[in-house]
Structure 1
Amino acid sequence: MKKSIFIWSFGVLLLGLCSFATVDFFSSMTKVDYIDGTKTLKFTTKLNTSHISQAVKIDPATAGFEAEVKKYVNNSVDVSINGSPKALTFTGSQVNGETVWVYYEIGNVPDISSLKIRNSLLIGTFPKQVNIMNITYKGNLKTINFQKGKESSEVNF
């Protein structure tokens, strides 16, 4: 009896562990800070290296990787401030092992009453992708989640 309970318990444990073996987590995290002195909205996005390289279809070790990431971000992120669309300025990227950091900004930002953002980063490649954005404006923190079917959101300050 003890032997059959042990075998059954071991089987359930093994089945449970195997079910986690194929689960992949798709997410990005973006920190947005308003710099009052320069009237700049700065974006820092953390992406999985393997995921972004699959999306842009280029190896992160190649010279053209940053240019492809820039193009991809410009096509995947739109920002409107107080109802007016704004252009993103890509300021760089950095590959650090399993993480790619992407930096972009919007300059000459007036006071913000509303901020509408479309963030479809990696959602086309990975339908279960969740993009989290933390926005800090004059001491106020707002968090937005983006996913398939909800690629746009608006916050008010």
Structure 2
Amino acid sequence: MKLKIYILSLFSLLLLSSFTLADFFSSMTKVDYVEGNKTLKFTTKLNTEHISNAIKIRPETAGFEAEVKRYVNKNFDVFVNGGAKNLTFTGSQVNGESVWVYFEAPGVGDINTLRIRNAILLETYPRQFNVVNVAYRGQQKTMNFTRGRETSQVEF
């Protein structure tokens, strides 16, 4: 009986340690359409260590927010009904293991198609998985992005 418990404990320890060795690379973006001012508002959650490695600057450094802005502008594009939209960076905040990034696309009328290119962290982390959840006039759509599949489109 003790041997069974020992073997089971050893197996459980090995199983749990395999989870801690595997790093999980992901980002989550929520997109909300604000009807009143016809704006798409984006909130992106990134792992602090991962974005810091990608932009090669520590989060406590004065230039961190400016580098995050530059990085997001380079790696995230939005197209509404086939037309490119300019993104306005509205801020970011570091909260422990997460960095929250806020930006928006103003001047968005009715949306028939929404195409997004999300290459955030895909170059730095080949197994990176990015998710974008879109809320538009009571509809919810989800877009997924991986290396080799940096662009996705939804229809409303």
The TM-score by the shorter chain falls in which range? over 0.9
The 5-angstrom pairing of residues 1-157 of structure 1 reads 2-157=1-156
User: How many corresponding residue pairs?
Assistant: 156
TM-score of the superposed pair, with normalisation by structure 2: 0.95
Distance in 2 between the 1:131 and 1:42 partners?
A: 17
Partners of 1:13 and 1:96 in 2: CA distance: 32
Gaps of 5+ in 1: none
Gaps of 5+ in 2: none
In the TM superposition, residue 141 of structure 1 has moved relative to its aligned partner by 0.8
C-alpha separation in 2, matches of 1:116 and 1:91: 21
Considering only CA atoms, is the larger Rg found in Structure 1 or Structure 2?
1
Q: Distance in 1 between matches of 2:92 and 2:69?
A: 8
Q: CA deviation at 1:3?
A: 4.3
Distance 1:7 1:101 in 2: 44
Superimposed CA distance per residue, residues 22-78 of structure 1 (whole angstroms, 9 cap, x where no aligned partner): 011111111101111101111010111111111110010011000100000001101
Identity of aligned residues (%): 60
Taking structure 1 as the reference length, the TM-score comes to 0.94
Supply the AA of the counterpart residue of 2:36: G
* SS of structure 1 residue aligned to 2:14: helix
| Partners of 1:44 and 1:59 in 2: CA distance | 21
